[in-house]
Structure 1
C-alpha cells in the first residue's frame, strides 16, 4: 500500500471536494480528467485551473474516439435536450452515458498502476443512486473486487462519498473553506449555469440547505 491515490476529477462540485479531502487526509494526489465529448466540457477548464493552482499532477485523457460506443445520452448529444427538474424524475435517465464509470475506472486503474497508487477515488454519492447504476454501492463493490485482481499491483476502487448527500459533501467543503466558484456542475456548457437541470437543482438545494450563496452565476435560480 502507498499513500498515493488517483482522483477522477471532473471539475465539478463533488470531485472538487473529493480532491481536497484527499489532500486534507495527507495523501499524494494525482488528478485524472476525461474528455468524453460532454457538452459541459468547460468543467475540464475548471479542473485544469485548480490543479495548476494546487500544484497537483493532472492529466486530461481524450476518449472522444469512443463516442460511438457511449452514445445516446443528453450529456454527449446535441440532438437530445438536457432534461430539467429533480434527479428523482424519470426523464433524468437520458443523462446516463452508457458504461461511463466502468470505462473511466478501468483507465484510471491503469494509471494508478503506472504511478504506483494504491487506490482510485471517484465522487459517486447517495444522490446519484436513483438514476445512475454505475454510481450505486453494488457497482463500486464489484469494480473494487475486479481492480484488486486485474494487475500484479492491487488497486482499490473507492467512493468516499457513497453514502453522502449533496448537502453532506458541501458541509465537508465548507469545513475545508473551499471556494466553489472554481467548479462547474451544470450539464449545459453555456456561459452561465442553467439552474434548471438536475445537476444544478441538486447543487442549489445543497447551498440553500446550508443557508449559503452559490458563487457560480446562474441563468435562473428557484
Structure 2
C-alpha cells in the first residue's frame, strides 16, 4: 500500500500537470475541436495505453536501480522539482500558452487517432518525468514493496490524467469558445495552473531527504 499523504501528493502533482499545456492535452483538445468528441476519446485511449507502458517500464526498472544507486533517488527528485518549475514558467510567462488555444487538424481514421494519441504520449517528456522523477519521490521505503507502491501511485496518476483529459475532450469546443471570448478568464486559467505547478515544484525542491 501507499501512505495517504503520498496518494494525495501524487494526485495534486498529476492534476497540476494535466491542467498545464502539454503535447497530450493540446493534441486531444485540438482533435476534439476539429473532428468531434468521439475522435478525442479514441485518441485518449491511445494516451491511456501510453501511460500504462511508461508505468510498467518505469516500475520494473526503477525499483532495481534505486537499490543499486541510492543517490539517483536524490537526482530524480531534483530533476522533477526543476521540471515542474519549468512548466510553471511556461504557463505564466507573458507569451505562455493555454491548452485551449488549439490548432486545426484534418480528419483521421480511428486507427490513426489511437496511434497518434499513443505516440504523442510516449514522446511526451512530461510523461517520462512523471514516472522516472516525480512518482518515485512519493514512495515510502519499507512501507510496502517499492514496485507495488509505484504501480498504485501510477494508477492514481493515470486515473487523474485520463479523467481530466476526458472532460477536456467532451467539453473542448464549448470551453475554447468561452475562453476565446473572455481573455481575462484565459489569463486566470493560466495563472492558477502556473501557481499550482510552481508551489509543488518549490515544495519538492526544499524537501529533499536522503533515501534510506
Q: TM-score, normalised by structure 1?
A: 0.25
Normalized per residue, the structure richer in strand is 1
Instruction: State the structure with bigger RCO (CA 8 A, min sep 6), 1 or 2.
Output: 2
Normalized per residue, the structure richer in helix is 2
